[in-house]
Amino acid sequence: MLIGVSRFKNGDQNVRGNQISNLKYAGDDAQAINEFLRSEEGGGFAEDHIFLLKDEKATKAEVEGALAKLRKTKPNDFFVVFIATHGVLAPQYDTRLGRTIEVPYFVLYDSDLSNM
């Protein structure tokens, strides 16, 4: 699974006090990894064995769908997960610890930072 988000749905806009800056090369990096994996030196993987999710295709629903397919791997299978995007630490109350902790998230195309 290759994820590269250079353009975000609300990129470079102030939405309820939050802003996600668009990136320059994240989508290109995922594309380059895709091309390498499909090449002979990268393993010659078939296109239908690689989930390339770039920009508007890198939504929460698409990523969850790709992860569901990865769950079907067998013991001798292997997979690569490549993610090029922003990350964010979001405060979340942990009932087990009884305090607020920071939880890491990857920012996807359709992420809404005000809901974290």
Calculate mean pLDDT across residues 15-38.
Answer: 93
Q: Which two tokens stand for residue 38?
A: 């499909």
Distance CA 41, CA 83 (A): 21
How many percent of the chain have pLDDT more than 90? 70
pLDDT number for residue 116:
60
Residue 112: is its pLDDT beyond 80? yes
**Overall pTM > 0.85:** yes
CA 104 to chain CA mean position, Å:
13
Q: What pLDDT, on the 0 to 100 scale, is given for residue 18?
A: 79
